């Protein structure tokens, strides 16, 4: 059985964590398989957008496989099994990644979701940071990403208590973009991915890099970065190309509104 199911169509790659009986817990083998799948999709010119989800309706991912952790510890290669880092692969991915969170996203699974660009949730989704209960310091960015998304006080509430929040709370707190019924999650993610894939791939990649690179800087430096990239990137824009783009945007708008 493939640990990561991969389906590619229409410029969209759907990567599905495939250990449903273990609530898609991130074994070392699954971590490596997922990292390799992300790297392959990142390098594939036919893929413009990635969707990451979990098999079954119980879990996006319950986090690290605690049976493995108990047996081998957390050190890289402690069981002599090579392992790749899926969060690092997501951070390096130049293409938009949509998380379709179909169930619980806990600790390492939560970190995996937070490394994606856009988070969509099923009404079954729940989120928890249980690092304090397990006695492990996060290593995939949860301590920094979560507070930037929902505010430092709410992040501390989640991280210090280890308590779950439901999908509607996650939406109210700004953790996820939208919440849909379970049977609408993947269709909604595919629709959004297709919309993104219909745009110029190079432009989307440059814009993603600008947002991410600027987010890591103080505001003034981020504005300077935007100005520098504007000067470098817009020199080839002509009146004729803008006119063509304007016509295409207007036609798309009329199609969306039924006009």
* Residue-wise pLDDT tens digits, 176-193: 999 999 999 999 999 999
Is residue 118 within 8 A of residue 192, CB to CB? The reply is yes
Please, what CATH class does the domain formed by 4-197 belong to? alpha beta
The burial class, CB within 10 Å (0-12 / 13-18 / 19+), for 256 is exposed
**Nearest alpha carbon to residue 116 among 70, 67, 174, 51:** 51
Confidence band, pLDDT 50/70/90 cuts, at residue 251: low
Q: Please write the tens of the pLDDT for every residue from 104-154.
A: 999 999 999 999 999 999 999 999 999 999 888 999 999 999 999 999 999
**Model-level pTM greater than 0.85?**
yes
pLDDT at 211 over 80: yes
The two tokens of residue 126 are 């729940």
Give the start-to-end residue ranges of the domains of the chain: 4-197, 217-257
14-30 pLDDT per residue, tens: 999 999 999 999 999 99
Q: Mean pLDDT across the stretch 232-252?
A: 62
Return the pLDDT at 64: 86
Q: Does the pLDDT of residue 101 top 60, yes or no?
A: yes
* Helix axes of 201-215 and 219-233: crossing angle, nearest 10 degrees: 160
Quote the pLDDT of residue 231: 84
Q: How much of the chain exceeds pLDDT 90, in percent?
A: 78
């Amino acid at each position: 059985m493939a640990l990561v199911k991969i389906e590619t169509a229409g410029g969209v790659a759907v990567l599905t964590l495939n250990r449903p009986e273990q609530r898609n817990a991130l074994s070392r083998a699954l971590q490596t398989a997922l990292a390799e799948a992300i790297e392959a999709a990142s390098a594939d010119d036919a893929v413009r957008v990635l969707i990451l989800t979990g098999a079954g309706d119980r879990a996006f991912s319950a986090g690290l496989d605690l049976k493995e952790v108990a047996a081998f510890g957390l050190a890289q290669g402690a069981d002599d099994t090579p392992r790749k880092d899926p969060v690092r692969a997501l951070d390096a991915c130049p293409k938009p990644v949509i998380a379709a969170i179909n169930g619980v996203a806990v600790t390492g699974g939560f970190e995996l979701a937070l490394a994606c660009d856009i988070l969509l949730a099923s009404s079954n989704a729940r989120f928890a940071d249980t690092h304090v209960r397990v006695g492990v310091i996060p290593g995939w960015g949860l301590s920094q990403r979560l507070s930037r998304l929902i505010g430092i006080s709410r992040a501390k509430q989640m991280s210090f208590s280890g308590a779950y929040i439901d999908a509607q709370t996650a939406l109210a707190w700004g953790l996820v973009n939208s919440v849909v019924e379970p049977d609408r999650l993947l269709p909604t993610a595919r629709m959004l991915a297709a919309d993104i894939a219909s745009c110029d791939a190079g432009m989307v990649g440059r814009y993603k890099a600008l947002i991410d690179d600027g987010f890591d800087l103080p505001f003034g430096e981020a504005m300077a970065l935007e100005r520098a990239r504007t000067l470098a990137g817009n020199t080839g824009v002509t009146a004729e190309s803008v006119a063509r783009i304007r016509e295409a945007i207007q036609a798309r708008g009329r199609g969306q509104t039924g006009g």
